[in-house]
Amino acid sequence: MAAGDITVGIQYSVSATPTEEITLADDVNTLKSVHSKIDKTIGGGKFLDCGSGTPGTVADNVSHGLHDCIAAGSTFDTATGTTNDKINVVVCKIVENIGSVSDDTNCDCEIALGGTNYEIKLVGVGDSCLLPTPDVDGSSAKIRSTSTYESRVDFLVGGDES
C-alpha cells in the first residue's frame, strides 16, 4: 500500500455464555450465573478485509442502513441503499418496534440469504446476529418482518468486490 491508501473492512466479535437461573430459598428471588456444568464462555473476533477505499469518501464495499422491516420485505441492496454483489458478512440488530403490537418483545426480523427460505429470525428489540455469508448477492438476499411484528433494524454488510 502506498501512502494515503486505506483498507476498508469490518472488525467484529462474538461472545456466548450459557447461563442458569436458580430460585433462592425464599421462592421469590432468583440468581442467574454461568451454567455450573458447562462453565465456559465462547468468543472470538476477526477483521474482515473488504478491499481498498478512498480517504474521506463513503466506505467501498461496506454498507450501513437503518431499515424498517415490513411484511412485504426488501432486498439487502434496498436496506442499505447500495449495490453489493459479494456480501461476506451481515450484522443485524433490532433497534425499535414499529409494528401494531407495542411491546418491545413482539417484533421480529427475518433474513433470507437467497431464494425464498427465511433461515434467520430475530425476535425482540436488542436481538442481533452476525452472519458470515459466502459471496451473497445483495439483490437476491432479503429482509422482512411478519405482518404485525414490524421492526426497525440497524443493518451492516461488507464484502470484497475483488
CA atoms within 13 Å, Cβ hemisphere of 30: 7
Element (H, E) at 77: helix 76-80
Would you write out the chain's pLDDT as a tens digit for each of its 162 residues?
666 677 788 898 999 999 999 999 999 999 998 888 888 999 999 888 887 766 666 566 888 889 998 888 888 888 887 787 888 889 999 999 998 777 778 889 999 987 778 889 999 999 999 988 888 888 888 999 987 889 999 988 888 755
31: cell is 440468581
17 is a domain residue: yes
pTM of the full structure? 0.82
pLDDT computed for residue 149 by the predictor:
86
Specify which residues 5 forms β-bridges with: none
Q: Which domain holds residue 153?
A: 6-158
pLDDT in tens, 31-56: 998 888 888 999 999 888 887 766 66
1 is a domain residue: no
103 is a domain residue: yes
- Rounded Cα gap, residues 64 and 155, in angstroms: 6
26 is a domain residue: yes
Residues 6+ apart with CB under 8 A from 37: none
Backbone angles phi, psi at 8, to 5 degrees: -105, 140
Please give the tally of structural domains in the chain: 1
Specify which residues 31 forms β-bridges with: 22
Parallel, antiparallel, or unpaired for β 30-34 and 19-23?
Answer: antiparallel
pLDDT computed for residue 77 by the predictor:
85
Residue 124: CATH number of its domain: 2.60.120
